[in-house]
Amino acid sequence: MNQHDSIGRREFLTWSAAALTGATLSTIPFVPGNRVEAADMTGVAGRKRSLRLAHMTDMHVQPELSAGDGMAAALKHAQSMQDPPQLILTGGDMVMDLLGVDAARSKAQWDVWQKVLKQECSLPVKHCIGNHDVWGWNKKVSKTTGQESGWGKQQAIDHFGLSRRYYGFDQGGWRFLVLDSIFPSSSSVYAGRLDDEQFAWLQNELKNVPATTPVALVSHIPIVSVAVLEFTNPASNEIRLSAGMVHGDAQKIVRLLRKHPNVKLALSGHLHLTERIEYSGVTYLCGGAVCGGWWKGPHHGTPEGYLLVDLFDDGSVESRYVAYGWKARA
Ligand SMILES: [Fe+2]
């Protein structure tokens, strides 16, 4: 399907005219039903860059495989650019795995991550919780009871310096809503979704943010994804995804976002793959992985890297995956 098929001809002409005359798109109000795909807005004259950020997701830091050196290399690479980012967004899975480890092993992983972050990062950082940042949920393997201090999401909340597991902040004229998409599941250790409390918060946030303020969502597990097809069973000829692969409540979230055309971007990690999807007025970006394939080389052809994202005052988004040159060490 052509990218313009979903836009009425009149709307398309309006946006095209704005492009030709160099009008500032931020002066054109967001009108429900007058949707335009984000890709159509890139390259429009008159817009101003609001913010450049580096989305550094899935670091999976551990004492082994020189993961700390890799994390340091990624941070140095981003900060030494000629036009460096002003913000680092981490997309979750900062440590190798906490779901199935004991207290000593979880501490060993956080120690490396904290040390490198303190030594190598001078930019503001905002964090998002990933499934592997949650301690002990696989009780049998982790040999935890659930009564330990910091069990579950608390360790991540503490290490990330969060006041709570989901939150909002403003930067560069954009509103960011950082979500917690990790919840227990009956069929798996975790599933991707929002709880009722958080969904009500999201509804309220979107209702209260001015309609002219562009909004970016950040979640570890993708809300919308095409790349998940990589993980289906080729023998079955059916698309069946495990509970933890993508948000199970995607339909509910997408329908909410449709009521708020100023939601322009949804960033995710988790898959260690890159994708850019324009769907129903929102750009869905999955940001690869700083660790590539868990520090053992590229994952399905996606190298160790991070996503460089430019946000503009008209709500448009440009993105580029940056491989920072890491070579896996045996
Ligand atoms: Fe991951």
Cα–ligand 1 centroid distance for 246 (angstroms): 13
Question: What's the whole-number mean pLDDT along residues 188-208?
Answer: 97
Question: What's the whole-number mean pLDDT along residues 208-220?
Answer: 98
Residue 190 within a domain: yes
Cα–ligand 1 centroid distance for 287 (angstroms): 11
The pLDDT value given to residue 187: 85
The pLDDT value given to residue 44: 66
Domain with 196, as residue range(s), is 30-322
pLDDT tens column, 41-95: 445 678 999 999 999 999 999 999 999 999 999 999 999 999 999 999 999 999 9
CB neighbour class for 327 (10 Å; exposed up to 12, middle 13-18, buried from 19):
exposed
- At 285, which helix (H) or strand (E)? strand 282-287
Residue 303 within a domain: yes
CA distance 304 to 300: 11
Cα–ligand 1 centroid distance for 236 (angstroms): 26
Cα–ligand 1 centroid distance for 254 (angstroms): 23
Question: What's the whole-number mean pLDDT along residues 130-134?
Answer: 98
Cα–ligand 1 centroid distance for 171 (angstroms): 26
Cα–ligand 1 centroid distance for 286 (angstroms): 12
Cα–ligand 1 centroid distance for 9 (angstroms): 41
Q: How many structural domains compose the chain? A: 1
Cα–ligand 1 centroid distance for 46 (angstroms): 38
Residue 17 within a domain: no
For residue 155, what is the domain's CATH number?
3.60.21.10
pTM of the entire predicted model: 0.86
pLDDT tens column, 265-277: 999 999 999 999 9
State what percent of residues in the chain have pLDDT above 70. 87
Residue 224 within a domain: yes
Cα–ligand 1 centroid distance for 211 (angstroms): 34
